[in-house]
Amino acid sequence: MNKQHKHDLVYLGECPTSGCIENYIGETERRINERVIDHACRDKKSHLLKHHHNTNHDSVDLNNFRILHKGYNNNTFKRRVSEALFVKQYRPTLNVQEKSVPLHLFN
């Protein structure tokens, strides 16, 4: 299966502008390509899109995304816990966890 069609996953998106280290971790049930389009232009709440607008850096595309894990059997809770663990591990610069699964045990 092509990367663009993969779904039910946790991903890492990175700013494509050379020298910029801004990045974001998210999760989606939908195809990754649909979520990338959200981050590129549709989702006004997207921190990657806000970064693009605030800095005039390049807009993201599928090449700027890496799948960190997949195959959650459409289990939203497992996917969100996994996202929270990846956020804890990678400490992405653009994540503002508003609706994440709290992991007080690890803080």
Per CATH, the architecture of 3-96 is what? 3-Layer(aba) Sandwich (3.40)
**This prediction's pTM:** 0.89
Cβ pair 43, 51 in contact under 8 A: no
pLDDT tens for the chain, 107 residues: list them. Answer: 799 999 999 999 999 999 999 999 999 999 999 999 999 999 999 999 999 999 999 999 999 999 999 999 999 999 999 999 999 999 999 998 655 555 555 54
Domain ranges of the chain: 3-96
- Those residues whose C-beta lies under 8 Å from the C-beta of residue 78, and which sit 6 or more positions away, are 72
Q: How many Å apart are CA 65 and CA 68, to the nearest integer?
A: 9
